[in-house]
Chain A
Amino acid sequence: MTPAVPDVSFVLNVSLLVMLLAVAVAIAVTRSLLAAILLLSVYSFLGAAWLMVMDAADVAFTEAVVGAGVSTLVLLGALLLTRGETIKTDWKQQIGPLALVLAVGGLLIYAAAGLPGYGDPASPANSYVGRAYLQATYNDIGAPNVVTAVLASYRGFDTLGETTVIFAACIGVALMLDPGSSGAPAQASRIRPGQHIVLKVISKLLIPLIILFAFYVQFHGDLGAGGGFQAGVTLAVAVILHALVFGLDETTRAFPPHLMRAISSGGVMVYSAVGVVCILNGGGFLDYDFLFTPQLEAAIPPGLLGDPDSKHHWGQHFGILLIELGVLLTVSSTMVSIFFGFAGRAPRAASVGQGG
């Protein structure tokens, strides 16, 4: 059974994929590291556009902010610190990897061709658990955005793991790049306030708007595309923009690195605390229906969220709100902390043969 309208989105799909292919090959072939990093940013952006064509709104949002935004920042920071030289390519070195990659790729294509057809609504993937989520969400949780509902409630434990991974990255980068209590504030920060009046004025206008938008995305997450991850990265981007334009010293006065790390661990603690509270109230871990004791539920004024039937969903709604808050805290502070780690590190000319 095919839909009546020819799939215009298929044409868009094909053209975006071809563009992605071209960019990927360009990344493989180019000799300049800076070009490779910028091409990767373009790749992420094209990927986000393709994801929209595939009806994956939340994923497109995340890919755009995280892939095209934060990844590029971090890569550029690392490039500056390692004084990327042009790459020497020895074509003899590339034969082995090429052969391996062709073999694996050929097998993969052969195997993927055996998967259910593209867009098939009756495939096992699309008709079993995926479909069940769409049917059950309204009754179980009451939030329209099914992706947020699955992320925050049905598979909330995975999201706790994901938040923990971000926290682990914060710890990891701090272990590697944190100057510690000795030293760094004394040395002049690498990012100096520039002379560019235009940049400063526009940033002063934009940064509050970006922060406002971040909070909109955060709270709107269960109604439309959005959620804690996207909002957290957007918030971090506002801080990073401030640091880029006004200098690192100014920004670290407002957002000191150790406070960022504390907020990062605080976010994970908030998330886990929600789960533990659910246990203490008699349910399972992260079972939001047990988030409120019956007395608390009775105290909430009816119609608070505009839906008189929402009594069944109080726990879900507030549970999702709280864990998204935890995610926001961890993600934003980690991204800022990672940026501070790279930006606050002065490039050293290490003499070859010594330990720095």
Chain B
Amino acid sequence: MSWFIANFNYIVVVILMMTGLFIIFSSANLIRRMIGLALFQSSTGLFYISLSKVSGGTAAIVVPPDSAEARALAAQLDPAYVAAFGVKGVVYANPLPHVLILTAIVVGVATLAVGLAIAVRVREAYGTVEAPEIDDLGRSVTEGPENGR
């Protein structure tokens, strides 16, 4: 049970990732697959942020040392803890995964936009966005006339 609580974050994040992956592999509808992809990508972000959590830490915006704010933040914690793990008297969260996930979120939305644009064009060319029907159409008519846009 304590193993479950200790690793709760990781377990849930993995389940979220796998849900996204499941939606991608089990859907025939192209839009639904993009939804699954978006879910999968954003859960990966949650994984990184779970790594960067520091108990008792605050957002990685440096407050001026020895200010009232810094003292208030430090007062909530054990002084030895702050001395060991704090930076200039305050304990902060790890900023590096935040930067990485900012990048990943933006890359995710870019992929989503391009993928959906392609799905829209598929619909215009084939009249459907269900994968099995597209395959059937592909086998029956190999080349349509000039597809326009």
State whether B110 touches A166 (Cβ < 8 A): yes
In angstroms, Cα B106 to Cα A236, docked, is 14
State whether B113 touches A74 (Cβ < 8 A): yes
Q: How far is the CB of A314 from chain B (nearest CB, A)?
A: 19
Nearest neighbor of A184 in chain B, beta-carbon distance: B149
State whether B8 touches A24 (Cβ < 8 A): no
Residues 73 to 100 of chain B near chain A (Cβ within 8 Å): 76-78, 80-81, 84-85, 87-88, 91-99
In angstroms, Cα B12 to Cα A108, docked, is 11
B contact face: mostly helix, strand, loop, or mixed: helix
Q: Which of A50, A87, A158, A342 touches B120 (beta carbons < 8 Å)?
A: A342
A contact face: mostly helix, strand, loop, or mixed: helix
A338 within 8 Å of B by Cβ?
yes
* Chain B 100-118 interface mask (CB, 8 Å, partner A; 1/0): 0111011101111110111
Q: How far is the CB of B26 from chain A (nearest CB, A)?
A: 4
Q: How far is the CB of A295 from chain B (nearest CB, A)?
A: 32
Q: How far is the CB of A245 from chain B (nearest CB, A)?
A: 22
Query: How many residues on B have C-beta within 8 angstroms of the other chain's C-beta atoms?
Result: 105
Nearest neighbor of A175 in chain B, beta-carbon distance: B117
Residues 31 to 87 of chain B near chain A (Cβ within 8 Å): 31-32, 34-35, 38-39, 42-43, 45-47, 49-63, 76-78, 80-81, 84-85, 87
Chain A residues within 8 Å of B, Cβ to Cβ: 1-5, 7, 13-14, 17-18, 20-21, 24-25, 27-28, 33, 36-37, 40, 43-44, 47, 50-51, 54-59, 62-63, 66-67, 70-71, 74-75, 77-79, 81-85, 87-88, 93-94, 96-98, 100-102, 104-105, 108-109, 112-113, 115, 117-123, 125-127, 129-131, 133-135, 137-138, 144-147, 150-151, 155, 158-159, 161-162, 165-166, 168-169, 172-173, 176-177, 179-180, 223-225, 229, 331, 338, 341-342, 345, 348-356
Known: A67-B109, A133-B96. 13 other contacts (CB 8 A): A28-B23, A56-B49, A63-B45, A74-B113, A109-B14, A112-B14, A118-B6, A122-B85, A158-B99, A352-B137, A355-B143, A356-B125, A356-B149
